[in-house]
Amino acid sequence: IPHDVLIPDLPLFPHLPPLLSGHPDLHLRNGILAADSSPASHDPDSERAFFVADLSQVYRQHLRWQSCLPQIQPFYAVKCNPDPYVLRLLAALGTGFDCASNGEISQVLDIGPVDPARIIFANPCKAVSFVRNAAKMGVDMMTFDNADELYKIARAHPRAKLVVRILTDDTKSLCQLGIKFGAPLATVPGLLAKAKELSLTVVGVSFHVGSGCYDPSVYTDAIMRARAAFDMGTDAGYRFSLLDVGGGFEDALFEQAASCLTDAIDTYFPDQSGMKILAEPGRFYVSKAFSLATNIIARRAPLGETPAGSSDQPSVMYYINDGVYGAFNCILFDHQTVHPYVLSMGGSFHVPATEPLHTSSVWGPTCDSIDCVCPTTQLPRALRVGDWLGFDNMGAYTMCAASQFNGFQVSKVLYTLGGFKASEVWGVLAKFAAEHV
Ligand code: PLP
């Protein structure tokens, strides 16, 4: 891992370093935040794949959120990418956090002075010991969507501030969650009556339109349903004051989603006085902030000259040192497709556009044949073992679910504060990698 790479320090966000400094393991060196001081040369795995995290991109997304949805407080979904420096930055920027487990709650509270009121325990089906622990940690806000959860909470955390998670249309999302979570509207009056009977406090309504939502108009329907659930709350004797609009925000459609949400909230909640609106964005904050550099560790190609790139069938198989059991689990779990590009070839990181291509496939390092990163792609015919491939948009639902199957370690992260073009970062990193392999 190239810890000491010299990158020109372009202080696009000069106030970020102070927000991130103070951590004993975090050193700022020429624009790169090195999280580990062990020298690269001591690493027995020196061609190891690595992420580059541009923390300024996380910050930019936060500014975008504030500009488009100033009335909605983001509670970052930790599950999406629990990177300690992302969490630290978001804590410093004042976001809340959506946690799904004891582990995530502890990780957020351990950052430093994070008020437990900035956490929503947004898992509607929790172990009773987790509910008890939340009570101990002062985390009161939590979701439910079934009666059994109410009995557990009545026993383990009777002071909790409950949020009923309702079912909404998730058919326009990459990852649908409704099959597992969300109370159909018809069941909500019964649940609220049960909550009342158990003397529990229900403060509002949440929903999740599914992760990776590609039709923002579903937010309109979801807000309409949330309105109906608010009215059910009034009928049950509650005065709801919290609306949680969940996650699902896709980078490219964010402005559209924000406008659908704003219009729908204004229509269905004309009186927002005393009301708190929050959301649980995950991938919106981190997806573009992380890129992954992988080394070509092996190649299977016909002996001699590789055939010209006329065929649609891959003629060459490249094996890289991260795969679907690692960061690329997003292909299996998050329904993603990834697109490799050349970072360095033959020691050079300038690949001429005229370079002849051939149809190739890209595979992970494990012994399993499911470990295919990219079944067909066009790559330069001259690409060889030792060259580097890059992948963008690798920040969401990647390293958080990576395993060490077959003894392959999870790729490490190199932190930057941005301020330079991606090609500049890659140029310097690829040069460094080429020199040290
Ligand atoms: N909130 C909950 C309860 C979730 O389950 C998820 C993702 O699965 C999120 C928020 C984050 O969703 P996204 O990354 O699509 O914004």
207 Cα to the center of ligand 1, angstroms: 10
Q: Would you call 25 exposed, middle or buried from its count of C-beta atoms within 10 A (0-12, 13-18, 19+)?
A: exposed
Q: What integer pLDDT is reported at residue 424 of this predicted model?
A: 54
Q: Can you point out the beta strands (E) in 228-289?
A: 242-244, 276-279
- 304 CA from centroid of ligand 1 (Å): 49
Catalytic residue list contains 260: no
Helix axes 55-68, 254-268, angle to 10 degrees: 30
pLDDT band at 425 (very low <50, low <70, confident <90, very high): low
- Pairing type for strands 290-300 and 316-320 reads antiparallel
Q: Are residues 173 and 146 in contact, defined by beta-carbon separation less than 8 angstroms? A: no
| Cβ of residue 98 lying under 6 Å from some atom of ligand 1 | yes
Beta strands in 122-267 (DSSP E): 141-144, 161-165, 173-175, 201-206, 211-213, 242-244
Ligand 1 binding pocket includes 177 (Cβ within 6 Å): yes
Chain segment 364-385, per-residue pLDDT in tens = 999 999 999 999 999 999 999 9
Residue 288 near residue 51, CB atoms below 8 Å: no
How much distance in Å is there from the Cα of 278 to the middle of ligand 1?
Answer: 13
Quote the tokens at residue 7.
């990158």
Percent with pLDDT over 90 in the chain: 73
Mean pLDDT along residues 386-400: 95
**What is the average pLDDT score of the chain?**
87
Tokens 């059994």 found at = 148
- Quick one: which of 159, 104, 152 has its CA closest to 125? 152
Which of the listed ranges 57-61, 100-104, 346-350 does the model predict with the highest average pLDDT?
100-104
Distance 221 CA to ligand 1 centre (A): 18
Could you say which of 367, 372, 374, 400 is catalytic?
367
Helix (H) or strand (E) holding 297: strand 290-300
- Both tokens of residue 356? 């002849």
Q: What share of the chain is helix, strand, coil (3-state, %, to 5)?
A: 35, 25, 45
Under the banding of pLDDT at 50, 70 and 90, the label for residue 39 is very low
Ligand 1 atom nearest 122 alpha carbon:
3
The percent of residues in the chain predicted with pLDDT above 70, rounded, is: 83
Strands 388-391 and 357-363: what pairing?
unpaired
Q: Average pLDDT, stretch 425-431?
A: 52
CATH code: domain 47-53+288-436 is 2.40.37.10
Residue 118's pLDDT band, with cuts at 50, 70 and 90, is very high
249 CB less than 6 Å from ligand 1?
Answer: yes
Residues whose CB is less than 8 angstroms from the CB of residue 350 and which lie 6 or more positions away in sequence, other chains included = none
246 lines ligand 1 (CB under 6 A): yes
- In the block, tokens 């949805």 appear at 69
Predicted confidence at residue 308, as pLDDT, reads 56
Is 47-53+288-436's fold the same as 56-285's?
A: no
User: What end-to-end distance do the CA atoms of the chain give, in Å?
Assistant: 10
Task: Identify the residue whose C-alpha is closest to ligand 1 atom 7.
Answer: 211
ipTM: 0.99
Q: Which residues contact 47 (CB under 8 A, 6 or more apart)?
A: 295, 297, 321, 386, 433, 437
Q: Beta strand 161-165 with 201-206: parallel, antiparallel or unpaired?
A: parallel
On the question of pLDDT at 5 being above 70, the answer is no
Residue spans per domain, the chain: 47-53+288-436, 56-285
The pLDDT-based confidence of 27 (bands split at 50, 70, 90) is very low
CATH of 56-285, one of 1.10.540.10, 3.20.20.10, 3.30.2270.10, 2.40.10.120: 3.20.20.10
pTM of the model: 0.88
Q: What is the pLDDT of residue 348?
A: 79
Q: How confident is the model at residue 32 (pLDDT cuts 50, 70, 90)?
A: very low
Q: Residue 338's pLDDT is what?
A: 98
User: What's residue 323's pLDDT?
Assistant: 98
Residue 436 pLDDT: 41
